[in-house]
C-alpha cells in the first residue's frame, strides 16, 4: 500500500478499534479472545484496503469479517469451555457493587450459552443496533433467516436466564 492508503487505514483503525473490540467481546464473552477477533478482522481489512472502492461499505465488511471469525473460532474444539455448578469463590453476603453489574454479568453469561449464529444475530441486532436488512447483509444471509435466528436466539437467551435465576434463587 502507498503512504496515503496506510494513513487512511491508520485513521480508520483508530476510529473503530474500540467499538469493534466491544462488539467482539459481546460475541465471545472474553476480552482476550475479543482482542484476537478484532485483530483478525482488522488484518483481513488491511489486506483488502486497496481493493475497497466504496469506503462507506468498510464498516459492513469489517463487521461481517468479525462475525465470521467469531463463529469460526467457536467451532474450534480447544475453545469449548465447561461450565461448573459451583463458583470458585463463595458468594458474599450483603449488597455487592449493585444489581446492574449482576444483571450485566448474567446477560453476558447467558449470551455465551446461545449458539454462535444466534448470538451473532442478537449482538448485531440489539447491541450494534442494526436493523434486519443490515444484519442480513453483515451475515450474508436472508432477512428471513435473521428474523428466525433472532426469535430462536431470544427464546434460548430467555431460557438460559430463567435457568440461571432459578439456580441463583436456590443458592440464596
Domain extents in the chain:
1-76, 97-171
Q: Alpha-carbon distance 137 to 64, whole Å?
A: 8
Determine the distance from the C-alpha atom of residue 149 to the mean position of all C-alpha atoms in its chain, rounded to a whole number.
15
Assess whether pLDDT exceeds 80 at residue 115: yes
* Chain mean pLDDT for the chain: 83
80: left (phi over 0), alpha (psi -120 to 50) or beta: beta
Q: Which CATH architecture has domain 1-76?
A: Orthogonal Bundle (1.10)
Assess whether pLDDT exceeds 70 at residue 95: no
The pLDDT of 91-106, averaged and rounded, is 57
Percent of the chain with pLDDT over 70: 81
pLDDT tens by residue, 137-167: 999 999 999 999 999 999 999 888 888 776 6
pLDDT score for 172: 54
Give the least confident one: 13-17, 25-29, 81-85, 157-161.
81-85
The pLDDT of 57-70, averaged and rounded, is 91
pLDDT score for 97: 45
Assess whether pLDDT exceeds 60 at residue 100: no
CATH fold of the domain at 97-171? Arc Repressor Mutant, subunit A (1.10.10)
Q: What angle do CA 150, 153, 154 make, to 5 degrees?
A: 85
pLDDT score for 101: 47
Number of alpha carbons in the 13 Å side-chain half-sphere of residue 13? 16
pLDDT score for 165: 73
Amino acid at each position: 500500500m502507498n503512504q496515503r492508503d496506510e494513513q487512511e487505514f491508520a485513521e480508520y483503525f483508530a476510529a473503530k478499534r474500540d467499538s469493534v473490540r466491544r462488539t467482539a467481546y459481546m460475541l465471545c464473552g472474553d476480552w482476550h479472545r475479543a482482542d484476537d477477533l478484532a485483530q483478525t478482522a482488522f488484518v483481513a481489512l488491511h489486506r483488502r484496503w486497496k481493493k475497497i472502492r466504496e469506503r462507506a461499505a468498510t464498516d459492513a465488511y469489517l463487521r461481517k469479517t468479525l462475525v465470521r471469525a467469531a463463529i469460526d473460532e467457536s467451532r474450534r474444539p480447544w475453545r469449548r469451555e465447561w461450565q461448573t455448578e459451583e463458583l470458585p469463590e463463595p458468594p458474599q453476603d450483603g449488597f455487592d457493587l449493585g444489581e446492574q453489574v449482576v444483571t450485566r454479568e448474567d446477560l453476558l453469561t447467558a449470551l455465551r450459552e446461545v449458539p454462535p449464529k444466534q448470538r451473532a444475530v442478537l449482538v448485531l441486532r440489539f447491541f450494534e443496533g442494526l436493523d434486519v436488512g443490515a444484519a442480513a447483509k453483515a451475515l450474508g444471509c436472508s432477512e428471513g433467516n435473521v428474523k428466525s435466528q433472532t426469535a430462536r436466539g431470544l427464546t434460548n437467551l430467555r431460557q438460559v436466564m430463567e435457568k440461571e435465576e432459578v439456580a441463583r434463587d436456590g443458592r440464596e
